[in-house]
Amino acid sequence: MNKQIKGGTHQSIEHESAHKHVSGRAEYLDDVIEPAGTLHAYLGLSTCANGKIKSMDLDAVRKAPGVVDVLTKDDIPGENDVSPTGLHDEPIFARGEVHFYGQPLFAVVAKTRDQARRAAQLAKVEYISEAPLLDVKSAKANGAELVTKPLKLKRGDAVSALENAPMRIKGEMEIGGQDHFYLEGHIAMAIPGEDDEVTVFSSTQHPTEIQHMVGHALGVSANAVNVQVRRMGGGFGGKETQGSLFAAVAAIAAKKHGAAVKIRPDRDDDMVATGKRHDFVASYDVGFDEAGKIHAIDAEFAARCGFSADLSGPVTDRALFHADNCYFIPNVELRSQPLKTNTVSNTAFRGFGGPQGMLGGERMIEEIAYALGKDPLEIRRTNFYGGEGKNLTPYHQVVDDSIIERIVDELEASADYKERRDAALEFNKTSRVLKRGISLTPVKFGISFTATWYNQAGALVHVYSDGTIQLNHGGTEMGQGLYTKVAQVVADEFQVDISTIKVTATRTDKVPNTSATAASSGTDLNGMAAADAAQKIKQRLIDFAVKEYDVAPEKVRFDNNQVIVGEQAFSFADFVKTAYMNRVQLSATGFYKTPDIHWDRDAGKGTPFYYFAYGAAVSEVVIDTLTGEYFVERVDVLHDVGRSINEAIDKGQVEGAFVQGMGWLTTEELWWSKDGQLKTHAPSTYKIPVASDRPRQFNVNLVNWSENKKRTIRRSKAVGEPPFMLAISVLEALSMAVASVADYKTCPKLDSPATPERILMAVQRLKGE
Amino acid sequence: MTTRHTLKFWLNDQLIEFDRLPVTQTLLDYLRLTQVLRGTKEGCAEGDCGACTVLVGRLEGDQLKYESVNACIRFVGSLDGCHVVTIEHLKGKNGALHPIQQAMVTHHGSQCGFCTPGFVMSLYAMWMSELEPDVATIERYLQGNLCRCTGYEPIIKAALDIGEHGKLHEDYLIAEQDQMVQNLSALQNDQMLAIESEAEKLFAPATLDQFASIYAQNPEATIVAGATDVGLWVTKFMRDISPVIFTSRLKDFRKIEVSDTAITVDGGASYTDMLAAIDEHLPQLSQFWRRIGGEQVRNMGTVGGNIANGSPIGDTPPPLIALGATITLRKGDERRTLELEKYFITYGKQDRAAGEIVEQIHIPLPDEDQLFACYKISKRRDEDISALCGAFSAKIDDGRISDIRIAFGGMAGTPKRASHVEAALKGAPWSERSIADAKQLFEQDFEPLSDWRASATYRMAAAQNLLERFYLEHADENAISLDDLHQAATLEALS
């Protein structure tokens, strides 16, 4: 057996920037040395949630120290819009009407950021205000518009199956939103170029969209705009579309003043002025029988979308796509309601509506379990997708790769679920104040962009004549380890140590027409594209070897930093040098598009997902029934990533997603005042988990026998989003602990986030019933 | 009184001097914009995320003590005579990574990496005083650091493993400590430090007498002790705070004196300064004390400041009022002593005259048979602001409640006693029935607000139930609290 290269696929190597992260030498955009004469922009925001601008006096702003310019809608050379959907519903600066508290009205350009920020506070704006519609319920009650076309998924006859079902429950669940709280906030810097050209540095998951939006705002074509991002300090979906505003403002100011312009909102403005996870109200009607088998579901998922469409269409679609989770629903009708509200336009966030849909679906399972007095796990098993006749989703895709039953069986055993559930039930009998809950919940998550054309990627690989390799692709690095995993693929293709490879910043002039790094697709798409590029170069090297050394193609091998040609072995560097001297092209682009997927939204039918990723978690919690306080005692996870390209990185994604999901369902609460002001706009008021919130015992395992049935890169599976939903087990465990106060006879209907307040109120409600 | 006009401190290997300095200059902006040391990050600019964590070393006697602080709300004006250590200063042997950095790499402790320098610095502070920390200790040192990517597990594992990657005595800062003690000693003196421009005045007195005197002369001045509140006035509200008096140089303003019956604390003592005394003499507050802010905030913030600024949701007033604490206020050479509860008049108004400082806090220690507990309720266990905070102190004689004091924060415009509840309980049997009856009276004592931390309904319900908790925990010797369980589970974790 030959020696292994260092850093090939299926090795747990460290993140490619780890040594720079820990020493403070990893450069984020705000760390890059600014060009001489860089100016700084800062946004002025609306203090009215719904109304018309009566007057806007910016005199004091203009006269403030250091101020160079104040930009309003009249300073935009192109379109005053950054709508990613082409609906023209998202102005850069308000067009006379304001639609949410915190909407950008103007931008100050000053010599320093501090000067710009201070000056922005000096605007005198008068509004003619109207009452804002702030949440789903008031929007529905007041017949609010929809921001985009809703979706309906239908299979079978839900109406008559509900009528005929032996048992039927109607209910409603309120599901809270979530701020991304990436540690690095939004930021952009634009450097003007010749003619109409501009280079934009942006903390973005979607450089190509930034390119387009900046082009539209400047009124220039795409080929004049170059966008670059080396890394983000976290993205989580929050930088899929939301960076456009900042990039456009920086670019407009840079072109106008012929100077580099940087814009970075402070944390509060970032949280107020950029979108979040959608809050939902799920209204359900579920019919089932005494065995817990679901006969039919009719459900509506209404979302607070904010004032514009942004990605609310695909987000609410994905909620419907995941309401079934792992369960076959014989008769089903699911409807989305993407409601327009006077709040910031909500956007992508890890799971992209899927978590909200799945949570609503799992609530129905809980309802059935409490109605029948059974362990919810039993209801789950009864309804898992199975073979023929039990494998069709509400969107008519066949589930043919389900491994959920085996995962659940293995996890149930390894986590001692039954014993621990019995112990919790026993504990609750005698413990007066503290109560325990335990829950096992599964996850099935569809992988692919439902916007089918997004499922493509490009890569650019250069092999230099010294044998070193430069790798570039359309994916962006936000901490998820994409650059590392794709480099591992390329190392593996060439059979060279990963230290041979340098990954360079994602740039629209290196790889064009890229898709957002989103939908967990980064490695699936870019790994394949990079492998394609590497294979092209390899083929040229093989062709050269065949000709030069007169051997059969199968006698040429790449192996452990060497190229083996017949009986001869060359170091990779030497062989490349020889190839170069013989005029072999050592650079190639690669391309990939996901096969076999299609989606007809109008019909609500198709195969939108290439495959599904699976996982399950058991969570055990303890609550204090006097105050509603709680903590998570233990979590066991078994999650499917196919054949992992890097187990350490994948495990990091699973753990991180779980804790982030737990935050969404527990402590992270968004709170608006009646006039539409977000009052939880900084870490002092918005509480993401800290170290002591993580499960006291956290056993995370990857499914070591799973291999993607589909021909993905090295048979791996996407990992970014699916494990986020494993945290639903925490909410349901909390729910069980609450249920104990009424002897488990009533479904607690615990809404999210389950703050101590919601827990206590649910306890008191159940005690009172 | 002689005065000097140059502020001096050490930054990594460099002596920094200022004879002009904006009073609002934060250490973070100075590092990032002036020094172009950009390893230290801005995540929130309010001392809540820890991405800007650096170490500040100061002399305590001839000992050099390093503590983690949030550079975003630490003013440069408070750094005279200190040693600031940033992430750029960490190094291992022969150009290798520092042991903490290597442990983080080995355990995959970074993903996006933005929070990472702050975590490394917090762990560095920990490592200097805790060579073999348990998980609870690690979590305490990391309370003030947010990570959104990893879920913390690999960071905890890295923290447990630092010793495998290097020895503390080989650490650069430790090895060079004697030299730095000399460097800093050379900067210490008893001169008043004053930097004045046309627009601003900055004072950093060296002695308490200088402080009292300069404040009496400039009663409009903003006093900056830990800056955990004033820092936000600047970074969030862009307020003008000049003239400013920094208390950071006052060595005679952070004493903690313990007698048989009381702890007397100087207004400038930090929460961290007090921790040992709390653990030894007021163990009922040990866990509570560790839930005030995060580690960086406890290193910076002072009990005096927590009281002086008059917040209705400060953590320390409820337990101190329940214990019957008094404070000494001083203006110039005049002093007066006041019951702490009387200091809080109404929301935004305290019994503190212009130019008057909170010089000392006297905390009576509970008797052996006195029941005492304090409960903080917040959305998140650690590093959160109280939705409400209740403190209970009771004496039971012959099965009857002979004395009881109940004080709450977060239930009114000021920290306030529950006088109706107290009146009903005084003399009543120490029984569940008495508690159940009395708890209804909270509605006569408080009319709490609804806000983003909690609704009025919840605040009231939780306050009532905390009285029940106080009873149950003391009536049953075997009662286990949620905190007990959390602590036990934490110590078991990863062991």
How do residues B152-210 score in pLDDT, each as one tens digit? 999 999 999 999 999 999 999 999 999 999 999 999 999 999 999 999 999 999 999 99
Residue B286 predicted with pLDDT over 50: yes
Mean of pLDDT values over A217-239: 98
At position A654, the amino acid (one-letter code) is V
> Is A384 in CB contact (< 8 Å) with chain B?
no
* Beta-sheet strands, E only, within A377-491: 434-447, 456-463, 469-473
Q: What are the CA-CA distances from residue A8 to residues A4, A14, A341, A471 (Å)?
A: 8, 12, 49, 15
| Separation of alpha carbons A386 and B275, rounded Å | 59
Second-level CATH architecture of A280-450+600-768: 2-Layer Sandwich (3.30)
| CB count in 10 Å sphere of residue A114 | 18
Question: Phi and psi at residue A402, in whole multiples of 5°?
Answer: -70, 130
Domain with CATH 3.10.20.30 in chain B: 3-88+180-246
Contacts with A, B 209-238, CB within 8 Å: 235-236, 238
The reply to whether residue B482 touches residue A755, judged by beta carbons under 8 angstroms, is: no
Longest dimension (CA), chain A: 88
| Interface residue of A627, A667, A734 to substitute, partner B, most B CBs within 10 Å | A627
Q: Are A532 and A713 in contact (CB under 8 A)?
A: no
Q: Shortest CB distance from B110 goes to which of A22, A659, A688?
A: A22
The predicted complex's ipTM stands at 0.98
Q: How confident is the model at residue B494 (pLDDT cuts 50, 70, 90)?
A: confident
How do residues A505-532 score in pLDDT, each as one tens digit? 999 999 999 999 999 999 999 999 999 9
> Is B248 in CB contact (< 8 Å) with chain A?
no
Domain with CATH 3.30.390.50 in chain B: 254-475
CA proximity to B384, closest of B137, B43, B143, B122 = B143
The reply to whether residue A481 touches residue B111, judged by beta carbons under 8 angstroms, is: yes
Residue range B99-170, CATH number:
1.10.150.120
Q: Are A319 and A280 in contact (CB under 8 A)?
A: yes
Strand arrangement of the beta sheet that strand A501-503 belongs to: A501-503, A469-473, A456-463, A587-593
Report the pLDDT value the prediction gives residue A769, as an integer from 0 to 100: 78
Query: Check: CATH 1.10.1760.20 for A18-26+456-592?
Result: no
Q: Which residue(s) pair with B346 in the sheet?
A: B349
| Interface residue of A12, A20, A23 to substitute, partner B, most B CBs within 10 Å | A23
At position A354, the amino acid (one-letter code) is G
Q: What are the CA-CA distances from residue A165 to residues A160, A269, A331 (Å)?
A: 8, 51, 11
Strand arrangement of the beta sheet that strand A568-571 belongs to: A556-559, A562-565, A568-571
Q: Is A721 tagged catalytic?
A: yes
How do residues A340-359 score in pLDDT, each as one tens digit? 999 999 999 999 999 999 99
The reply to whether residue B152 touches residue A689, judged by beta carbons under 8 angstroms, is: yes
Q: What are the CA-CA distances from residue A740 to residues A369, A390, A424 (Å)?
A: 14, 34, 10
Residue B427 predicted with pLDDT over 50: yes
Contacts with A, B 16-45, CB within 8 Å: 29, 32, 36, 38-45
Report the pLDDT value the prediction gives residue B443, as an integer from 0 to 100: 98
Q: Shortest CB distance from B379 goes to which of A17, A679, A756?
A: A756
Report the pLDDT value the prediction gives residue B1, as an integer from 0 to 100: 61
The reply to whether residue A684 touches residue B385, judged by beta carbons under 8 angstroms, is: yes
Q: Determine which one of A633, A668, A721, A732 is catalytic.
A: A721
Chain A residues with CB inside 8 Å of B40's CB? 24
Q: Are A178 and A670 in contact (CB under 8 A)?
A: yes
Question: In what helix (H) or strand (E) does residue A190 lie, and over which residues does it extend?
Answer: strand A188-192
Q: Are B229 and B297 in contact (CB under 8 A)?
A: no
Q: What are the CA-CA distances from residue A312 to residues A178, A336, B40, B105, B325 (Å)?
A: 15, 10, 36, 38, 55
The reply to whether residue B462 touches residue A234, judged by beta carbons under 8 angstroms, is: no
| Separation of alpha carbons B226 and B300, rounded Å | 4
| Topology of the domain covering B254-475 | Enolase-like; domain 1 (3.30.390)
Q: Shortest CB distance from A23 goes to which of B90, B155, B482?
A: B90
Chain B residues with CB inside 8 Å of A31's CB? 38
Contacts with B, A 236-255, CB within 8 Å: 236
Q: Shortest CB distance from B452 goes to which of A30, A655, A680?
A: A680
Residue B477 predicted with pLDDT over 90: no
| Separation of alpha carbons A146 and A143, rounded Å | 9
The reply to whether residue B482 touches residue A629, judged by beta carbons under 8 angstroms, is: yes
Q: What is the mean pLDDT of chain A?
A: 97
The reply to whether residue A626 touches residue B152, judged by beta carbons under 8 angstroms, is: no
> Is B51 in CB contact (< 8 Å) with chain A?
yes
Q: Shortest CB distance from B482 goes to which of A19, A624, A698?
A: A624
> Is A267 in CB contact (< 8 Å) with chain B?
yes
Q: Which residue(s) pair with A438 in the sheet?
A: A620
Mean of pLDDT values over B265-277: 98
Instruction: Give the tokens for residue B491.
Output: 């110590």
The reply to whether residue A24 touches residue B40, judged by beta carbons under 8 angstroms, is: yes
The reply to whether residue A696 touches residue B486, judged by beta carbons under 8 angstroms, is: yes
Instruction: Give the tokens for residue B407.
Output: 């004080």
Chain B residues with CB inside 8 Å of A349's CB? none
Residue A270 predicted with pLDDT over 60: yes
Residue A64 predicted with pLDDT over 70: yes
Q: What are the CA-CA distances from residue B49 to residues A393, A696, A768, B141, B352 (Å)?
A: 43, 22, 40, 13, 32
Chain A residues with CB inside 8 Å of B113's CB? 15, 17-18, 20-22, 26, 231, 233, 479
Domain with CATH 1.10.150.120 in chain B: 99-170
* Local structure of B280: helix, strand or coil: helix
| CB count in 10 Å sphere of residue A169 | 16
Q: What are the CA-CA distances from residue A69 to residues A73, A111, A244, A407 (Å)?
A: 13, 10, 21, 60
The reply to whether residue A685 touches residue B238, judged by beta carbons under 8 angstroms, is: no
| Separation of alpha carbons B148 and A182, rounded Å | 6
Instruction: Give the tokens for residue A419.
Output: 């014993």
CA proximity to A382, closest of A402, A361, A368 = A368
> Is B360 in CB contact (< 8 Å) with chain A?
no
Report the pLDDT value the prediction gives residue A486, as an integer from 0 to 100: 98
> Is A581 in CB contact (< 8 Å) with chain B?
no
Mean of pLDDT values over A130-142: 97
> Is B239 in CB contact (< 8 Å) with chain A?
no
Q: How confident is the model at residue A203 (pLDDT cuts 50, 70, 90)?
A: very high
> Is B287 in CB contact (< 8 Å) with chain A?
no
The reply to whether residue A696 touches residue B385, judged by beta carbons under 8 angstroms, is: no
| Interface residue of A692, A697, A759 to substitute, partner B, most B CBs within 10 Å | A692
Report the pLDDT value the prediction gives residue B2, as an integer from 0 to 100: 87
Q: How confident is the model at residue A3 (pLDDT cuts 50, 70, 90)?
A: confident
**A646 alpha carbon, distance to own chain's centre:** 20
How do residues A574-594 score in pLDDT, each as one tens digit? 999 999 999 999 999 999 999
Question: Which CATH homologous superfamily contains domain A34-130+186-264?
Answer: Aldehyde oxidase/xanthine dehydrogenase, a/b hammerhead (3.90.1170.50)
Size of interface A-B (CB pairs under 8 A): 280
Residue A2 predicted with pLDDT over 60: no
Residue A1 predicted with pLDDT over 50: no
Q: What percent of chain A has pLDDT over 70?
A: 100
Chain B residues with CB inside 8 Å of A23's CB? 39, 87-88, 90, 97-98, 101, 117
What pTM did the predictor assign? 0.98
Chain B residues with CB inside 8 Å of A434's CB? 480, 482, 485
Residue indicated by tokens 């010793």: B163
| Topology of the domain covering B3-88+180-246 | Ubiquitin-like (UB roll) (3.10.20)
Mean of pLDDT values over B354-380: 97
Q: Are B81 and B181 in contact (CB under 8 A)?
A: no
The reply to whether residue B153 touches residue A655, judged by beta carbons under 8 angstroms, is: yes
How do residues A442-477 score in pLDDT, each as one tens digit? 999 999 999 999 999 999 999 999 999 999 999 999
Domain with CATH 3.30.365.10 in chain A: 18-26+456-592, 280-450+600-768
Residue A179 predicted with pLDDT over 50: yes
Q: Are A530 and A547 in contact (CB under 8 A)?
A: no
The reply to whether residue B236 touches residue A22, judged by beta carbons under 8 angstroms, is: no
Specify burial of residue A452 (Cβ count, 10 A radius: 0-12, 13-18, 19+): middle
B54 CA: distance to closest CA in chain A (Å):
12
Chain B residues with CB inside 8 Å of A633's CB? 485, 489
Chain B residues with CB inside 8 Å of A678's CB? none
Q: How confident is the model at residue B495 (pLDDT cuts 50, 70, 90)?
A: low
Contacts with B, A 387-426, CB within 8 Å: none
Q: How confident is the model at residue B139 (pLDDT cuts 50, 70, 90)?
A: very high
B406 Cβ contact list (under 8 Å, min separation 6): B322, B390, B391, B392, B393, B417, B418, B421, B422, B467
Q: What percent of chain A has pLDDT over 90?
A: 99
> Is A40 in CB contact (< 8 Å) with chain B?
no
A437 CA: distance to closest CA in chain B (Å):
14
| CB count in 10 Å sphere of residue A553 | 10
